[in-house]
Amino acid sequence: MNGASEIYKVLVANSTIQGLVSKTGTAPNIVYKIAASIVEPSGWGVADSTLTIYQVGSESAADVYDVNHAVNCRASTEKKAKELAQAVKAALHRVTFSNIGFVCFIEPVIPPQDDTDNFNAPVTVRVIGTK
């Protein structure tokens, strides 16, 4: 367990997140653009609102699990990216999942590098629990 799959499960089931991220397919086969992955899956574009989840900190060797993850909240505008980050924080902050809990911090928005990029409002999720 590193926390990424638990973060994914909470986010993909959250109705506010579902309303904000881009999706493909039709009910009942909707696929939300949320992935536990360092790199966005192919086919995701700069106009999409997406979430990617991955571990960014080292894993503690102690009896207590304590590691940071990033949830990249990417969107075509700064406003949309910030709105997505607020929704991620609301969905995860102080939530417990099995034997772990989450504490969230919204980081400063990273602007696009060029016209092939979009805005990113990262959320750091500290995952704390017992091993």
Structural domains of the chain ordered from first start:
4-130 (3.30.2000.30)
Question: Sorting pLDDT into bands at 50, 70 and 90, what band is 21?
Answer: very high
Q: Which amino acid is at 58?
A: S
Contacts of residue 64, Cβ cutoff 8 Å, sequence gap at least 6: 128, 129, 130, 131
Q: Which amino acid is at 106?
A: I
Give pLDDT, residue 1. 54
Give pLDDT, residue 3. 85
Contacts of residue 4, Cβ cutoff 8 Å, sequence gap at least 6: 36, 53, 54, 55, 69
Q: Render pLDDT for 27-68 as a digit per residue (tens, 0 to 9).
A: 889 999 999 998 888 889 899 999 999 999 887 777 788 899
Mean residue pLDDT of the chain comes to: 92
Between 28 and 80, the more confident residue is: 80
